[in-house]
Amino acid sequence: MNRQRTDDLPEDEIEDEEDGLPLPDATIDAGETTPSELKHGIEVIAGFARHLPNKPGVYRMFDRAGEVLYVGKAKSLKNRVTAYARGLAHTNAVARMISETANMEFVTTGTETEALLLESNLIKQLRPRYNVLLRDDKSFPYILLTGDHPAPQIAKHRGSRQRKGDYFGPFASAQAVKRTIDALQKAFLLRSCSDSYYENRTRPCLLFQIKRCAAPCTGEISHADYQALADQARDFLSGRSSTVKRTLSERMQAAAEALEFEQAARYRDRLAALSAVQAGQDINTQGVEEADVFAIDEQAGHFCVEIFFFRNHQNWGNRALFPRADKSLTPAEVLASVVTQFYDDKPPPRLVLLSHEVEEIDLIGEALSARAGRKVEIAAPKRGEKFDLVAHARKNAHEALSRKLADNAGQQSLLVALGEAFGLPKPPRRVEVYDNSHIMGTNAVGGMIVAGPDGFMKSHYRTFNISSDTIAGDDFGMMREVLKRRFSRLAKESIAAEGGDTVDLAAAESPAPPPEAQDETAFPSRPDLVIVDGGKGQFEAARLIMAECGVTDIPLVAIAKGADRNAMRETFFMAGKEPFKLPPRDPGLYFIQRLRDEAHRFAIGTHRARRKRDITKNPLDEIAGIGPSRKRALLLHFGTVKAIQRAKLDDLMRTPGVNAATAKAVHDFFHDA
């Protein structure tokens, strides 16, 4: 693929349109477009269309600020862009997109398949305003059976597959992975501990005692026998479950006939654990070994795509996605976009089942096959077991979307109540709540939680590690540091978005974007309301630091809890008002308590995780050249880190497995002034 520069091509006559003009996928209200604005956009696009080749590729449309409006692919770039330049038969959304277009960029590809792959990749990276967007960006979990250690570890895995081993999934949720791993540990006695923990064991841990691990770390089982257990687990996860269960059943019978009843009971328990893995599936299949099932439902202009994962004739869970898409799009159009984007960062299965017939189904199949390196079939079944799977997924999509719309309606009413409680001109769309957590000033962290029309927006949560410059235990100073970092960063992002080098912070924060740049459905990055947990002192600290950052137009509220945390006696502090309370049964008060408690939970959870890391951190880990083996040798020889710290250089050099250079490095680390 190579980037196409329009000014290097000869000018051609505009050809007839060959490809159908795609509707933009925006969820924004396009509003009215003036004839002059539309004419200007058409002139810009027509200027590019005259120089485009009749080749497949990807095009990007930009607004005046350089933000990407839309990413699309075409079999013929010239024909597709020419269709936009005609300006005929457009919806309001298309007209708005054209009127906002100030620039375009193009990439030519060798085939339309390459264009489709590039398009899905760019949509996920750039998140254009007028494309269908997957709002659930959380990666799916897998089960990893490692292959880089003599005693393979079984673990949950997310993200890139950098570690050597076998990956099984995807699973719909971390809970589904945890349940499966727990059952597999009962059945195959595989270790789940990290390699460093494994290397430093001197006796079996509790998992060995409760028959969840074979304890290869201390030689309770040979590596050959443990590898056989790992191979059985790999066979089971790879779809050869009947073979594994038959082998265990035969061994159980043989042990019983030999009167080795304890051994027979262990095989019985392992068989029961494997049966629990399969019985725990919601819906299983006989004729479909490996497939993903996509079903879409539409209600009131909103879409839900339900995905079921089937591997090895087992259901590995389902996930509901709520893509951002324009109301003018058909369910089939939204579904096609979701499928191509979904597999941008994960391998597709051999079969993908859809609830709707989509255009370019063969092209999507070719793109997924190219990505997987093998044949991927895409089908919309009309009868049989596969149709039953799709119907089941479609029913779940309808129910999930109904629940989502009901929850959103309830959440919106809570935001209305919150706005009324604090006298805001309109209900807030983004509420940020801040809280700090520490113990005697140690491991101090600040937490920010975010709520909006869709409830708690956990992908927007942020943590702040309090710097050592802040006096230990100074709650006001901690809050000042957290808010300064948050709003200084927000100001810089606003400056970068406007393309400026330097600008007054207040000017960068306060003005609303021009009407043509607003997207009323996109979740804002700037809060409409800030809440801090604390009394008047915290309020003043927060108010001063926000003013210092030039943020004076965002309402600020501080909450001072009463005698009992949930006694409905909270006192609120706001600028220009005397401290006040809300009526005990005010719905806004209940919502505020939920926000405050969620912020407290998030902050204290982050603090505990940081404290746990510090407690378990070994000073030897900070010494260059000290790996698991030498650390274990030192601990076995001296017993504790304190004894190592007090040891003389000669004593360190006499440690088995530790050479002179390592001994000197350890001694210098603990005794260097």
Ranges assigned E (strand) in 147-241? 154-157, 165-168
Does residue 191 sit in the same domain as residue 151? Answer: yes
**Residues 642 and 552 placed together within one structural domain of the fold:** no
In the beta sheet, which residues pair with residue 157? 142
- Last residue of one domain, picked from the residues 592, 614, 636: 614
Alpha-carbon distances, residue 332 vs 24, 65, 71, 107, 358 (angstroms): 14, 32, 19, 27, 5
Report if residue 251 sits inside a domain.
yes
Q: Which of 404, 435, 463 is the last residue of a domain?
A: 404
C-alpha 220: how far from its chain's center?
A: 40
- Where does a domain end: 596, 614, 632? 614
pLDDT of 97 above 90: no
Are 625 and 548 part of one and the same domain?
A: no
pLDDT band at 346 (very low <50, low <70, confident <90, very high): confident
pLDDT, tens only, 208-258: 988 889 899 998 889 898 998 888 888 877 766 666 777 778 778 887 888
The answer as to whether 284 is a domain residue is no
Binning pLDDT at 50, 70 and 90, where does residue 89 land?
very low
| CATH code of 31's domain | 3.40.1440.10
Q: For residue 603, what pLDDT is reported? A: 85
Q: Where are the alpha helices (DSSP H) in 449-586?
A: 475-498, 505-509, 536-548
- State whether 535 and 579 are in the same domain: yes
**CA-CA distance, 414 to 424, in Å (whole number)?**
13
Q: pLDDT at position 7, please?
A: 38
Q: Whole-angstrom Cα distance, residue 569 to residue 579?
A: 12
DSSP per residue, 339-383: HHHHTTSS---SEEEESS--TTHHHHHHHHHHHHTS--EEE---S
For residues 161 and 119, state if they share a domain. Answer: no
Confidence bin at 284 (pLDDT 50/70/90): low
The residue range of the domain holding 40 is: 2-126
**Same domain, yes or no, for 610 and 624?**
no
* Same-domain check for residues 104 and 174: no
Residue 524 or 91, more confident:
524
Domain assignment of residue 412, yes or no: no
Specify whether 162 is located in the same domain as 122: no
Across the chain, what does the average pLDDT equal? 79
The answer on 344 and 252 residing in a single domain is no
pTM over 0.85: no
Please give the average per-residue pLDDT across 35-52, as a whole number: 85
In the chain, the number of structural domains is 5
pLDDT score for 501: 43
pLDDT tens for 601-657 read 888 887 777 777 666 566 777 777 777 778 778 877 777 777 787 888 888 888 888
Average pLDDT over residues 170-181: 81
Q: 133, 324 in Cβ contact below 8 A?
A: yes
CATH of the domain at 629: 1.10.150.20
pLDDT at 107 over 70: yes
Q: Give domain status of residue 635, yes or no.
A: yes
Asked which of 324-333, 434-443, 483-492, 597-606 is least confident by mean pLDDT, the reply is 434-443
Would you say residue 436 has pLDDT above 80?
yes
Q: Is residue 572 part of a domain?
A: yes
Q: Are 446 and 428 in a shared domain?
A: yes
**Is 313 a residue whose pLDDT tops 60?**
yes
Q: Report yes or no on 377 lying in a domain.
A: yes
Residue 174 and residue 70 share a domain: no
Structure tokens at 505: 């912070």
Residues 133-158 have pLDDT tens digits of: 887 656 788 889 998 888 999 999 88
Here the CATH number for the domain that contains residue 508 is 3.30.420.340
Tens digit of each residue's pLDDT (9 = 90 or more) over 526-574:
899 999 888 888 888 888 888 888 888 889 998 887 665 555 678 889 8
- Same domain flag for 592 and 660: no
Residue 413 lies in a domain: no
The average pLDDT across 423-445 equals 83
7 lies in some domain: yes
Whether the predicted pLDDT of 477 surpasses 70: yes
Report the percentage of the chain scoring pLDDT > 70.
82
